[in-house]
Chains A and B, each alone.
Chain A
Amino acid sequence: MPDIYSDSWYEAVRDTINARVATLPERDVPRGSWHAVVEIVGDGASPYVDAESVRRFLVRIDDGHCAWYREIDTANPDGVDLDYRFVGPATAFDEIAAGTRDPIDAALDGTVRVRGDMRFLMRQAALVKTLLEAYTHGVQTEWPQGQPPYNGSGGDA
């Protein structure tokens, strides 16, 4: 089982996403390329991101599929026209990955903030849910599914 946020973990997430997207009907998979940044803010509880530091991952989606991802060290990578940014405390992202926190709830209660063209996300509910599902339940991490190995408490609104 890969360590969360490690290369192998991301590879696993990517493979899972792409496998699931492949099962979607064509009309639910929009053509085109998108860039999203996921910003994981250290909150002192998660051991994966230092307190008061931020880890950022840039993800590229081509025709609904995850083409690549990479960890970046700036909020606004050069030469990339960002479409979305998801920002939240590390604990919340850990819990989402562990399947103990619902990502849509996290957006609704303001724990994870979403920036970008909301119309597109709303209209592509099927794809968005598939991506979230893969992220949330698709990959086993080194901790037992559903139980991050610490008492996460950060991020509640």
Chain B
Amino acid sequence: MNSPFTNPPDNPPMPMSENQYQFLKAHRRHHHIIALSRFLLIAVFLCLWETAARKEWIDVFFFSSPWGILTYLYQMFLDHSFFTHTGITLLETILSFLLVTLLSLLAATLLWYIKDLAEVLEPYLVILNSLPKSALAPLLIVWLGTGTNTIIVAGISVAVFGSVINLYTGFCQADAEMLKLIYTLGGNRKDAFIKVILPSSIPLILSNMKVNIGLSLVGVIIGEFLAARRGLGYLIIYGSQVFQLNMVITSIIILCAIAMAFYKTIQSLEHHYRKK
């Protein structure tokens, strides 16, 4: 065939120009400044806090101090309570998160398949999503008792309804013309879901997972406040009751680290998907 098209040739690598070099240098400098600023912000805050505690500008009994927190953390490592409490919170959060992801994907798929069911359930989902989940916790304790099951269900209840609504809305916004293409090529509704809806929704599913991991952690901590004898939520509530502020703040800092680690894990998953 005499095609009027010519396919673009593979360009050989060009030597870097002075302007490109300057651009890359400025880009790297900008990133270094941002990273340094972030580090300085926390370093200055910690120094000020420690100085304020040592000079007795603040009451260490109420506000603790970075050194006090470090010492408490060291003790937690020594008596292994760090691993017990952090481990149980991690386990409950991961289980809640996995169940939320699985349940919300299944529910959103079912709602997409059966539009009438989605129409029937829509107001209930909106109400359940808007309901403050801490209000459900006493009920969960009565029904399921105190323990891991209740905490996992609390973690699920915080994230699952919003996740179903988000995923279902995303599924419905898939390009109608792409679905039409599947039907014109002889596909059915199942094919449309597997070949178009699901792959085109992967960025949505990943961003939904980022939100869900945080919400699962929130739910687990609410659960641990009310129905646990182990876990970081239990440590926070117990520490506040016995005025052990080192215990409370150390637990909060461990929680921050956990939240950050979860977020980074999903982000690297997202990054891996984008690269692919």
Partners in one complex: no
B interface residues (Cβ-Cβ under 8 A, vs A): none
A interface residues (Cβ-Cβ under 8 A, vs B): none
